Amino acid sequence: MKLATLKEGGRDGTLIVVSRDLAHGVRATDIAPTLQAALDDWQNTAPRLHALYDALCMLYLISFY
């Protein structure tokens, strides 16, 4: 799973989940507004972020096959 932040939404930025090849990303603000918030509640956010990452990778793969 790859996480990143966009330089927007305040000091800590906006949390996004990035595809395996780093070509695509999706905002994860419905799960946690920032990476720090995700880390602070990792036990609850990690499974949801991982599911979003899996969905992003599957969608990306399906669009090419």
Q: Give per-residue pLDDT as tens, 20-29.
A: 888 889 999 9
**Whether pLDDT at 58 is above 60:** yes
| pTM recorded for the entire structure | 0.85
Per-residue pLDDT, 10: 81
Residues 6+ apart with CB under 8 A from 17: 1, 2, 3, 4, 25, 26, 28, 49, 52, 53, 56
Q: What is the pLDDT of residues 2-13, one digit of tens each?
A: 999 999 878 889
Q: Tell me: the pLDDT tens digits for 29-43?
A: 999 999 999 999 999
3-state secondary structure (DSSP) of residue 41 = coil
Domain hosting residue 8, numbered range:
2-62
Does residue 59 or residue 43 have the better pLDDT?
43
**How many separate domains does the chain show?**
1
Assign 35 to helix, strand or coil. Answer: helix
